[in-house]
Amino acid sequence: MKLGVHRLHPPVFLAPMAGVSDHPFRQLCRRLGAGLAVSEMVSADIRLRHCRKTRLRLDTTGEVGPRSVQLLGADPGALAEAARWHVQQGADIIDINMGCPAKKVCGTQAGAALLRDEALVGRILETVVAAVSVPVTLKIRTGWDAAHRNGVAIARIAEQAGIQALAVHGRTRACGYTGPVDYATIRAIKQSVGIPVIANGDIVSPEQARDVLHYTGADAVMVGRAAQGQPWIFRDIAHFLATGQCLPPPPPLAISAWIAAHLDSLYHFYGVHTGLRIARKHLAWYSRAWPDQAAFRARIHATEQPHEQQQLTRAFFERLNPQERLPL
């Protein structure tokens, strides 16, 4: 998939997820096959730019390009100013969030709430596109609710404003993350515009990625929650799309090595205390498909030393039998 001067390959991308797609996780997913890894959403409010949480979200040190930064806000001028600043800091792509369904976000009239005001959507996108020289992309949902499913209209507004690619989560804001994914609307959006469209929503396997691409005509797929605990899903999907063959499950030693590298990255990036706490969340996801995962999580939560956390993790994952994997 082409985006400005960038060739995004393979056509399977990591979705931006608050509290998940941080610097260590983005790096891991890129190493394991993701063609693009979008940052966690960052507020366009300049007053938050120098707080520790925002600084960490903005850190792209050592990341493979292109670097895509997702901005959250509802004011065209503030979003344009933020986009200019992020480009000066090294962003290669600016992504605008109009898809987050969280009540806290929509309560500020940002995220998916913007889908209710098509005129404001147009002003925001035109202003941001005019402010920067890099590609601007947009992430949306199919609409606010079933009675206001205006994804096609928003897509046309986006294309007219100069948006260069559009990621669509196939649910309305009212759906949140539950219920069936509306791939038909993603298909209708793809048929209505000439810019690349990225299909998002419950892409959980290589076969499903293929089927979604075939049905919708989308140019790429975006994987979110299915990457939590199995970031190797990107290499699995990429291999299947390229060859039509499924890779065998990764061996326990490979899983253990990937997780060890992820933990080390968390300790280094956040510091030992915070890194240990964040690692517990990821280890719960990594272990959820295996027997004895409850006992493992209990031991992990009891330790306060990184070397102990690493030792427990290696002991758990290196003894796995791939045949014992539980259905998720």
- pLDDT tens sequence across 155-169: 999 999 999 999 999
Is residue 267 helix, strand or coil? helix
Could you give the CA distance from residue 134 to residue 19 in angstroms, rounded to a whole number?
Answer: 26
100 is catalytic: yes
Q: Which amino acid is at 215?
A: Y
For residues 161 and 42, which has the higher predicted lDDT (pLDDT)?
161
Give the model's confidence band at 327: pLDDT under 50 very low, under 70 low, under 90 confident, else very high. Answer: low
| Host H or E run for residue 38 | strand 36-43
Longest dimension (CA), the chain: 57
Amino acid at the residue 302: A
Q: What is the pLDDT of residues 259-312, one digit of tens each?
A: 999 999 999 999 999 999 999 999 999 999 888 889 999 999 999 999 999 999
| Range in 54-58, 77-81, 83-87, 174-178 with the lowest mean pLDDT | 54-58
Give the phi and the psi of residue 233 in degrees, each rounded to 5: -60, -25
Helices 233-243 and 206-216 sit at what angle, rounded to 10 degrees? 60
Q: Which amino acid is at 236?
A: D
Q: Is 212 exposed, middle or buried (0-12, 13-18, 19+ CB in 10 A)?
A: buried
- Residue 49: pLDDT band with limits 50, 70, 90: low
Give, in order, the Cα–Cα distances in Å from 303 to each of 22, 175, 261.
Answer: 23, 38, 19
In this structure, the number of other CB atoms found within 10 A of the CB of residue 272 comes to 14
| Alpha-carbon separation of residue 63 from 59, 67, 107, 126 (angstroms) | 9, 7, 33, 29
Whether 62 contacts 27, CB under 8 Å: yes
Alpha carbon 193 to its chain centroid, in Å, reads 23
CA separation (Å) from 327 to 5, 120, 145?
41, 44, 31
Binning pLDDT at 50, 70 and 90, where does residue 61 land? Answer: confident
Q: Could you identify the residue written with the tokens 């396997």?
A: 205
Q: What is the pLDDT of residue 238?
A: 98
Report the alpha-carbon distance of residue 8 to residue 30 in Å, rounded.
11
Active-site position among 100, 106, 175, 246: 100
DSSP state, residue 227: G
Buried b (16+ CB within 10 A) or exposed e, 23-39: bbbbbbbbbbbbbbbbb
Mean pLDDT of 50-75: 81
pLDDT for 326 equals: 60
Task: Indicate the average pLDDT of the chain.
Answer: 93
Q: What is the pTM of this model?
A: 0.93
